[in-house]
Chains A and B, each alone.
Chain A
Amino acid sequence: MISVQHSPHLGEKPLIIAIGNPWRGDDGVAVKALESLQQNYAGAFEFKHCQGEATTLMELWKHREDVRVIDALSSGQFPVGSVQVFEPIKQTLPAELFTISSHGFGLFEAIQLSEALDCLPKNLRLVCIEASNFAVGQGLSPEVKQAIDKIIEETIR
């Protein structure tokens, strides 16, 4: 098992948010990763799940210091199953990836609105997985399923 290193703010555990709908094929990859994280790292993090609506995300990460978000992408710009990591505080987010690949008023908008209202977590890491299948009721694509270990590694580091 990978060791976890972080510096909690006033004893606060980092928050991991999984975005997605487990009934929507690859959109459920974050929830699958979250289940594994909850089993193996229960004491090290706090865990939340949502479907990515922006104001809900903002509510979840408001006043938090350290937040990691797992979400599926459908940018068409990366191989299916590849994991991309973004840190909005340190880099400008490639809007074209999110505006066409996020939920209608979702993660990208939550980050932008939080920036505008000065309530973005100091440490925010997005762990995004290029996905391909969002059909109702389907399981994960093989490439996406294989990426779960990598997702976990990038989320907890």
Chain B
Amino acid sequence: MKKESKKTKTIKVDYLARVEGEGAFHIKIENNQVSEAHLNIFEPPRFFEGFLKGRSFREAPDITARICGICPVAYQMSSVHAIELAYGVNVPEHIRLLRRLLYCGEWVESHVLHIYMLHAPDFLGFPDAITMAKKHRSVVERGLRLKKAGNSIVNLLGGREIHPINVKVGGFYRLPTKDQWSALTDELKWARDAAAETVRWVKDLPFPDYTFDYQFVSLKHEYDYPMNEGLIGSSSGLAIPASDYENEFQEVHEKRSTALHSIRKDGSSYLTGPLARYALNYDQLSAEARKLAEEAGLGKICLNPFKSIIVRAVETFYALDEALRIIALNPEGAAAVDVEPGVACRGFAATEAPRGILYHRYSLNEQGLIEAAKIVAPTSQNQRMIEDDLKAMVSGILDYDDDRMRHRCEQSIRNYDPCISCSAHFLKLKVERQ
């Protein structure tokens, strides 16, 4: 190994505790300046793109749901929307609403897991949620019950909590009854109140005074806070359909990393996920969600990534508010519309996974078999931005000792809730300093 000079410091974290799965982070400081910041945290779903080839379009929702244990609904939603676009299928309003309801469930599950079990301990000085539970039992119990409320939606509409199986191109295999939804309503009302309490709880956490000038990218919708529908918009004025995604964004391979990094075609990095959704769609939040955000001091745009925990809490509240609104509408009708293959065609979709935009593209032949698939996950899109952010953030804390700096770096990475549950596990912690 090349010996570093006395003015060079390397902090390497090969295992990031409380990120779902694994992570490797490497920062190099030379002559009191950050020269490199590399994050190797996400493995794109290339295997699944290959595995989809030759499969019927009808299999895509179930196969892609296997890519991620945390956000299978997002994969299902992007796949069905892309294939329906390819076949020119428009689903009826009740299907549209129920898909949105299913997404609400997944947002609640994912955000609550991150807020309570992974992110909050950072701010409160606990090494993990277990230690936090010993001091704040009722808070952790509230988080567990809140997450279960999200589970209950996914379980009822998705068919089961883990890897839902009830989603198909054209709709669902079966729909829950009105009585089944009614049985959930009281618990969802409790959960909405608990989510409001969560916003009030996290708003007072001690946040570092730090902002970053992000280029935000998220779906934008005329009247809905975006989940399944909308144009891909940005804080720099972009407004394109998903079919133009690959004209505006590209994946680049970094030699130093196994991961692909997404950037704009002009070379700029960008952020997708809660901060971007919130900034670009504040007006589409419900009035109560906006009021909570205002009480929490968020403003219409939040540029402090540490405060993403507040935005997730506001989105959790919104998702439960929206779930109750949809259930009250009592969406009923046929479980699905028929979709039959015809001509060879291509379809594209982007939906809002809890962590940000999830892009799918499919090429289908006359028999409805998939000839090519492309999937770009949100964490892959955020990876370059996380590195940029870390580089800037570490530049401001060069006087920290290694342990304190590592803790701040881990906390910063968790700000983005990187989803790596679909990549390999089992990396060991290695700290190297010379």
Contacts and interface: CB of A to CB of B under 8 A. Distances in A.
Interface of A: 21, 23-24, 27, 49-56, 58-59, 74, 100-105, 109, 112-113, 116-117, 134-137
Interface in B142-156: 144, 147-148, 151
Interface in B95-136: 113, 117-118, 128-130, 133-134
Nearest to B147: A55
Give the top 8 A-B pairs by smallest Cβ distance, nearest first.
A51-B69, A136-B47, A74-B426, A116-B133, A112-B130, A104-B20, A137-B47, A134-B424
Nearest to B16: A104
A128 B429 CA distance: 22
17 contacts: A21-B422, A23-B66, A49-B162, A55-B117, A58-B144, A74-B426, A100-B426, A100-B428, A101-B425, A112-B130, A116-B133, A116-B140, A117-B137, A117-B141, A117-B144, A134-B425, A136-B43
Given A27-B425, A55-B144, A109-B130, 12 more contacts: A21-B422, A51-B162, A52-B69, A53-B113, A53-B421, A56-B151, A104-B21, A104-B22, A105-B18, A105-B118, A116-B140, A117-B133
Nearest to B429: A100
Interface of A is mostly: loop
B25 interface: no
B70 interface: yes
Given A50-B162, A117-B141, A109 B129 contact: yes
B140 A113 contact: yes
Contacts of B21: 103-104
Nearest to B425: A103
B69 A21 contact: yes
Kindly state the interface size class of chain B when it binds its partner.
35 or more
B15 interface: yes
Interface of B: 15-22, 43, 47, 51, 66, 69-70, 113, 117-118, 128-130, 133-134, 137, 140-141, 144, 147-148, 151, 161-162, 420-422, 424-429
A109 B117 CA distance: 10
B184 to A, nearest CB: 15
Nearest to A75: B426
Contacts of A24: 424
Nearest to B423: A136
A53 B69 contact: yes
A62 to B, nearest CB: 9
Nearest to A103: B425
A109 B128 contact: yes
Nearest to A51: B69
B51 A53 contact: no
Contacts of B47: 23, 136-137
Contact of A55 (B43, B66, B113, B128): B113
Nearest to A74: B426
A117 B429 contact: no
A101 B69 contact: no
A24 B22 CA distance: 14
Contacts of A100: 15, 426-429
A51 B69 CA distance: 6
Nearest to A25: B424
A146 B420 CA distance: 30
Nearest to B118: A105
Contacts of B421: 51, 53, 103-104
